[in-house]
Each structure stands twice: as C-alpha cells, then as structure tokens.
C-alpha cells in the first residue's frame, strides 16, 4: 500500500457483510501471521486540518512526532489531509481497498461521520482487494474537533495523546453502526445520534456558527426556535403498526449517548448493544429547555412526563400532516427532511477502544 491515498470513484462491489471476533492488535506482526508482504501494518490517519477553526491541523502537527515515536517502529503511518466535504469518505474507501489495517479519524464528529461512511459502498462494507478475505480494516479516533461527542460515550477526554495510547494498546471491540434511509432511498451511516425536527434544525444552523466553537450549539438552538412549531409525527417501530405522537419537539435515535456539545440525549444507548435508543420530546416550549437544560446534559430527562424512550432495531418516522420541512440529521450532518427510516447494523466495524 502506498501512503498517499488518492480519491477515486468506487465501482459497485459484490460482497456480503461479515462480522469478526473482537481482538487486540499485535503490533509486532511478522511473516508468521500469514502477511509476509505486509510485515509492517498500514495505518491511515485522515486529518481534517480545518476542524475546530483550524485547531485540529495545528494540534495534529504537534502530535505527529509523538505518533511516529509510538507507532512508527511497527506501522507505516500514512497521513491523509482532507481538502473539503466528503473527501474523508473517498480517502477511507481507497485505503480499505488497498488493504489498510486501520483508518483513524483525526478531528471531530463530522470527520468521524465521513470516515464511517467511507467504510461502506452501495450499502455494504468496502472489501480489501489485496488481502485475505477475512482481513478487515479497523476504525480509530483521535478526537480533535469542536464537539467530539462520540468520544464522550466512552468517557474519553479530548486528549490526542491518550488516543494514541489506545491505538498503541491495540484493543478492539465490535461497534454497531446505524443506517438512515431518506425519501430517495439513499443510505447514510451514522455512529452517534440521528435526530429529527428541532434538534436537527438546531444542528443545521449550528454548522453555520462553527467559528464560535462550542457556542455554535447555543446559537444554532436559538436560531432554530425562531418560527418553530411542535408537530404530530407518526412512528413505526420494528416494522409494527404506525403510532401517532402529538406535538413532537424532537425525536432522537441514539447509537451512542451524546450530541450537541455534551448533551446526554440518549443516555441508555450503547454502541455495542445491537439496538438503537429512541427518545421523543413532546410539547416542549422554549422555557422548558431553559428550565430542564441541566437534565438534558446529565441524561436525567427521561423521568419527565413529556419524554419517552424505547429500545428498537428499526424505526420509521413520517409526518402526520403533509409538510416538507421537518429536518433530519445524523452525527451533525444535515440529511434533508422527513420521511426517514433508521435501523441498526450490529457489530459492523472493529474499533480501537
């Protein structure tokens, strides 16, 4: 594998999804592992230099010498700098096709979202073209973004040096991935939280205020409240009958626990459980968010009378009335409007944990 990953257009592969045993990475792999031509492992670091108002790029330059010291003796460290939206997906797909042992997202939740989507093509995992059939590429994370909400589920600090040590230790676990399908039938994959209506609208506007750091979530929420109305939504869980939920403020679907810069919105979600947690907020007013904001951040809001939660394998959400302006997003990325369907892909990716 050459450590200068080029972005190419992917042909449609034909293969089936597979799950592997959780394992610890042995950084001293040699010819006895059956990979004689790959005695040094290829680790691709996908870096968004513009993340966190440019802080990601600056911190990465400081981190790189340490990374080379800790991993350079065992691995080929392949640095790939993104140049714009979706570039991380292209880099990831090409790295996997070329047989990379790991792709590590360096940045925030947006970069991680793109890298996760790069693991898939046409609804299936991207295959390696030059490795054994059982070979799989692991996912890693060095959180250096604005929110880094996914890392919070594991109790990780925004410390890149700790993240490097997790990769050095090499312990991996299986990670579930959510699938979200919109009106057009196109699939997107999410690793953290998908959400609908006010929270998704707030996330959409927050992306316009990234230059303000974590304050972008506050500004996004304030902007989203302008003209907001709670609407009736219909929901179908696990392929069952439609249920109507009245005056829905937000509907959140968690593979992990946090979004919006530390809000513990789906507090019982577990990205290795094989389920998604759905939390529905109904008939919230602007002052409810002010009065109950501390509960949303602590994850204690499930006790509120107008908040419901359930564990699901799949969920479909549509408008009860004929509207076309109910926002949908996943992992902070705007994905259009209702209707939508979410489901879980259990144990889809090996993840450095």
**Tokens describing residue 53:** 């108002």
Q: Which of 42, 101, 109, 176 is catalytic?
A: 109
- Nearest 5°: the CA angle 163, 208, 159 is 15
Distance CA 110, CA 222 (A): 22
109 part of the active site: yes
Give the Cα separation of 213 and 77 in Å (integer).
30
Residue among 165, 120, 142 at smallest CA distance from 48: 142
Contacts 24+ apart (CB under 8 A), 151-159: 152/257, 152/258, 152/262, 153/192, 153/256, 153/257, 153/258, 153/269, 153/271, 154/353
What are the C-alpha distances in Å from 7 to residues 16, 90, 118? 24, 5, 11
- Decide if 130 contacts 166 (C-beta within 8 A): no
Residues labelled catalytic: 109
């Amino acid at each position: 594998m050459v450590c200068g990953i080029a972005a190419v257009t992917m042909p449609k592969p034909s293969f089936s999804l597979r799950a592997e045993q959780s394992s610890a990475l042995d950084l001293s792999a040699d010819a006895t592992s059956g990979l004689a031509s790959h005695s040094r492992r290829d680790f691709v670091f996908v870096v968004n230099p513009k993340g966190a108002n440019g802080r990601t790029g600056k911190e990465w330059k400081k981190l790189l010498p340490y990374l080379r010291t800790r991993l350079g003796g065992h691995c080929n460290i392949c640095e790939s700098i993104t140049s714009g939206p979706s570039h991380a997906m292209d880099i990831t797909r090409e790295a996997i096709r070329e047989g990379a042992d790991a792709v590590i997202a360096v940045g925030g939740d947006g970069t991680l979202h793109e890298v996760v989507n790069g693991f898939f093509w046409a609804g299936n995992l991207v295959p390696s073209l030059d490795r054994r059939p059982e070979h799989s590429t692991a996912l890693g994370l060095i959180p250096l973004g604005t929110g880094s909400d996914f890392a919070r589920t594991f109790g990780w600090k925004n410390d890149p040096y700790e993240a490097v040590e997790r990769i050095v230790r090499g312990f991996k676990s299986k990670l579930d991935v959510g699938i979200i399908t919109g009106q057009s039938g196109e699939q997107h994959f999410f690793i953290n939280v998908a959400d609908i209506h006010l929270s998704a609208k707030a996330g959409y506007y927050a992306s316009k205020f990234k230059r303000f750091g974590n304050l972008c979530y506050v500004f996004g929420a304030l902007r989203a409240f302008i003209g907001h109305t709670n609407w009736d939504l219909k929901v179908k869980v696990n392929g069952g009958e439609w249920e109507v939920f009245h005056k829905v403020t937000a509907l959140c679907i968690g593979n992990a626990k946090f979004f919006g810069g530390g809000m513990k919105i789906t507090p019982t979600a577990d990205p290795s459980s094989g389920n998604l947690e759905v939390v529905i907020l109904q008939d919230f007013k602007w002052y409810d968010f002010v009065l109950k904001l501390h509960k949303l951040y602590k994850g204690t809001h499930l006790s509120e009378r107008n908040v419901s939660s359930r564990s699901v394998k799949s969920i479909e959400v549509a408008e009860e009335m004929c509207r076309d302006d109910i926002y949908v997003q996943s992992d902070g990325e705007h994905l259009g409007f209702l209707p939508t369907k979410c489901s879980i892909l259990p144990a889809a990716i090996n993840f450095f944990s």
